[in-house]
Every structure is written in structure tokens, then in C-alpha cells.
Amino acid sequence: MQYFTDCAGQFPNLRQRNYCNNVNSGKEIEFFVDVTLTDYPENGALNHKIRVEEASLNEYMDIDVELQRPCPCVEQTEPDDEYARFQCDNQGYLNCGMCVCDEGWAGTFCNCPTDPSNATTNEALLRTCRQPLDKKGESLSSDVCSNHGECECGSCICDPGYMGNFCECLECIDCDEDRAECYCGQCVCKYGWSGTQCNCKESTDECTGPTGEICSDRGTCECGACNCQEPYLGVFCEIDTETDNKLCQFYEPCVTCLIAQKQRIGGCENVNEICFSAQYNERFTHLFVNELEAETVCLVRIVNQHGIQCDSYFNYQVIDRANYLAIQANDCEPLNMYAMFGYISLITVILGLIIIGLIWWCLRMKDAREVARFQKQLADNVRQENPIYRNPKTYYEVPKALSANFTENPFAN
């Protein structure tokens, strides 16, 4: 039985194998099974049941096989048939689908010469295709080409997925030729590489920063990359969670000199020597930019030619042992006193006018309120009689009925 699969698209074509690596949980894998009868059973049983199962699953598949005997041979040919001999290199003839070789020839197509005197008979050729079971080669396997290939003229032609002199080894699938060599189905890593797939660099060069420290002494180099301790970050574990950055401190002298040289401050004539001080003496490649856009930004403070302390910023990258610096150099100019006096005077005049305008507006509003209140008082001041006032003169009137009886004044005398 032979199994074929592409491992759910891992290979472009079907490969002869009964296993798959790196399979995710729940992934469906299809296997194609090729059943070939190699010999007729000695007990004469015609019906057989073949069970196919996976070791880690509680599922299986039964295949019922029925053998036929005798196998009828429809195309019987004569030994001298021209076409039949052409199929077997004219060193035999094709009969019932197989080459019947002439004396002195062997092989599937009668293409292997044999010499009885030198023991190069067909049996001897098949013997060379059987794997030795001991170091002396006295005991041989009964399987020709480990049942994974065909013997052609004393050499094994392996089926897809197998390799080796006797097809005894599986082919290596995940071996990179630049990093490993395949030995009987296993990847043997070349110098400088390690890991199951030989994809890890043993060298610590990729973990060594410009300071010469491996992972800044804050982590370990694993598979060519730094595994930083808490709480450090960065390619070389150079960044602390607060403000400490070893590479910022390392690049600061060079950046200071480059800015001083650009702004002609002076005091840094040995800029080349300073910027050659990295490990392995790499040259720093720098670029001045107007605005720096980066996650990691370093600060450098320089006193310029005007005596002003000016802050500039830079960012770094290390690619293949080369140092790249992007620098935002700020040119802090001194204040112009005349311009400053003019600005202050202008601002003072403007503020004075605004204050005067506010005072005038407040006075206008106050006068308006006083006028309105005065007008309201005039409207409310109407002449009325005092309700508590009494006239000092009192007048009494005698009723008419009584006045008729009195003709004269009784008080005349």
C-alpha cells in the first residue's frame, strides 16, 4: 500500500507519504491510497480486508479486496514479434505486459546486461538493490529497494517521497539547502545554524549593538534576535520604560558634532574620529530632516554660537551593522530687542485703546441708566391731595324745616 497527499496545500503536487507536519487543529487532510498486489497469497485466499486507521484517532476505514486468479493474459505475443521486441530494447519481447528478456539481459525493459561468469545475473542485480542488514553486508533485506522503488540494472529508482541508495529514507521537506543538508530524512544543520529547521543563527552578531554589548546586557540572544528582560524594549534591549536609552547616549557625541559642524558652532574638529567609534568601526550615515517622524526619538541639547541652549532631536536605525541617523537640528536664534520693544509697544497701545473703550462704554451705560431712572421719577410725580390734611374752617347748615320758624336771629339781643 502506498499513501499520497499534498498535506492540505503544503506541497504543489501529491507526495508519497503517510504523515503531515505542522497541521492546525481542525484541518482536514486528504490521503489517497494505492493498493497493489505484489504476489498471490500462498493459502489461496481470494477475499481480504484491509484496515486503514490513524494512530491518534478512534476512526478507521475497512477496504474489501477480492483477488482474481488466474489473471487472463489477452495479448499473447511471439518472441520474434517486431513491435513486442521494440518495447524491450530488442533484447527481449513484451508478453502479457512484461518483458521476457533474452539470455544475457535483465531488467524491466531488458536494458541491463548480465554476465554469468561475473555473477551479474538478474538475481545478482536484484541483490545489489537490497539493503545490507549488517556492516559486512552478509545479510540482506528481503525487500528490493525497501519496497519504495524499482531496481534498474542494480540501482534503485526511488518512488516520489523517498531517497537513498536503497530508497530507505524519506525525503527532507523543510531543509533549506543554504542552511542544512539532508541525511536520510533529517535536516543536519550547517555551521552557524541550529533548530529543527535550521532557521536559527547561532552567531550573536545580530544581537550585538553598536556599543559592543549583546542585547545591551539586558537580555539573551535567541535565534539571532534579542529576548529582552522586563521592562526593557528595543532591537538591542536598549530602551528603558522611562527615559534611559543606551543607544541615544552612545550616538549623542556624534550627533552633537554633526550639528555643531552644520551650524558652524565650532569646538568639534574630530567629528570623523567620534563618528567612527562604533563597534567594528562602521561609518555613521546621517541625514538632516526638517521634521522627525519616529516612535523612538532621542534628545540632544547644544549651546549654540549665541549662548542659547537649544534642543535638537534624532532617531537611529541599525541595518546590517550599518548606523543610520536622522537628525532634526533646531537653530535657536537670539531675540531681536528692537523688534521685541516694538511688539511690546504695539501690544501696550492696543491694550490701552481696548481699556479706554471699555471705560467709555461703561460710562455711557451708567448715564443711560441714570437718565432712565430720572424720567421714571418725573412720570410718577403727579399732584394729589394729602389724605391726612383737615381744613381749619368748619361750616354747619341748619335744616330748612327749622329755619322757617326762626324769623329773627335769637341771638340778636
Query: Letter for the amino acid at 267?
Result: G
Read off the C-alpha cell for 299: 534628545
Mark 293-306 as b/e (b = at least 16 C-beta within 10 Å).
eeebebebebebee
pLDDT at 327 over 60: yes
CA–CA dist 393, 386 (Å, integer): 17
Average pLDDT in the chain: 79
CA–CA dist 203, 198 (Å, integer): 13
CA–CA dist 6, 19 (Å, integer): 10
pLDDT at 280 over 60: no
Split at pLDDT 50, 70, 90, the class of 406 is low
Are the beta carbons of 20 and 8 closer than 8 angstroms? yes
Of all residues in the chain, the percent with pLDDT exceeding 90 is 4
Contacts of 265 (CB under 8 A, 6+ apart): 259, 302, 304, 305
Split at pLDDT 50, 70, 90, the class of 303 is confident
Cell numbers 538475481 correspond to what residue?
123
> What 3-state DSSP class applies to 355?
helix
pLDDT at 354 over 90: yes
Model pTM greater than 0.85? no
Are the beta carbons of 237 and 216 closer than 8 angstroms? yes
Beta bridge partners of residue 106, listed in sequence order: 112
CB atoms within 10 A of CB 94: 19
Quick one: pLDDT at residue 359? 92
> What 3-state DSSP class applies to 39?
coil
Distant-in-sequence contacts of 314-322, Cβ < 8 A, 24+ apart: 314/251, 314/255, 316/247, 316/248, 316/251, 318/209, 318/210, 318/235, 318/236, 321/205, 321/280, 321/282, 322/282, 322/283, 322/285
Q: pLDDT digits over 212-231, tens only?
A: 888 888 889 888 889 998 88
Quick one: pLDDT at residue 277? 59
**Backbone phi, then psi, for 293, in 5-degree steps?**
-120, 100
pLDDT at 307 over 80: no
DSSP letter, residue 401 = H
pLDDT at 355 over 90: yes
Q: pLDDT digits over 251-279, tens only?
A: 888 888 888 888 777 667 777 777 765 54
- DSSP of 210-269: TTS-BGGGSEEEETTEEEEPTT-BSTTS-B-SSS-BHHHHHHHHHHHHHHHHHTT--S-T
CA–CA dist 302, 311 (Å, integer): 7
